[in-house]
Amino acid sequence: MKMYPHELSGGMKQRVIVAMAITLRPTLVIADEPVTALDIVMLRTVLETLASLKERYGMTVTLVAHDMAVHAEIVDRLAIMYAGKVVKIGSVYDVFYDSLHSYIKGLISAIPTLGEKRLIKTIPGIALSPLN
């Protein structure tokens, strides 16, 4: 309580933010990239904290992340957006095993696997202009 933010590790900061978010017992928590730039131990801790709070308080957690492995760990359903539009909604199984969209395939193929070296495939084309 008496520490300044710059004295906290990334994981500690994330846990403080989660604690602040649930203080008033919301029914919905929107977690936007809650584990980005955390080491694997802190990532696991934050995800387990979110999952236990979800169960304990019956809250809905909407998780925004680019890391498909994170989604596979904690979510019940996924909505994948590409170029500002939802391109797939479904269970984790549906999205991982029944997706034809090249962006979704790219996200899934970017999940690292132990002991396997492979190139990350790119999606051809250029990103759409935010002005459009």
User: Is 132 contained in some domain?
Assistant: no
pLDDT: which is higher, 69 or 128: 69
pLDDT at 34: 82
Would 86 be classed as within a structural domain?
yes
Q: Which are the contacts of 43, defined by CB distance < 8 A and separation ≥ 6?
A: 35, 70
Domain match, 87 and 70 both: no
- pLDDT digit string, tens, across residues 88-117: 999 989 998 988 888 888 888 888 777 878
11-20, 46-55, 78-87, 119-128: least confidently modelled range: 119-128
Question: Do 33 and 5 share a structural domain?
Answer: yes
CA within 13 Å, CB half, 15: 14
Mean pLDDT (the chain, rounded) = 84
Question: How many domains is the chain partitioned into structurally?
Answer: 2
68 and 87 part of one domain: no
Pair 103, 59 in one domain: no
**Domain-embedded: residue 28:** yes
Query: Are 23 and 51 contained in the same domain?
Result: yes
Looking at residue 79, what is its pLDDT? 92
Indicate if 24 and 62 belong to the same structural domain. Answer: yes
Supply the range of the domain harboring residue 108.
76-126
Number of C-beta neighbours around residue 107 at 10 A:
21
Q: For residues 103 and 54, state if they share a domain.
A: no
**Using one digit for the tens of pLDDT, what is the confidence trace for 14-57?**
778 878 888 888 999 888 888 887 788 888 888 888 888 888 88
From 54, 75, 96, give the residue that closes a domain. Answer: 75
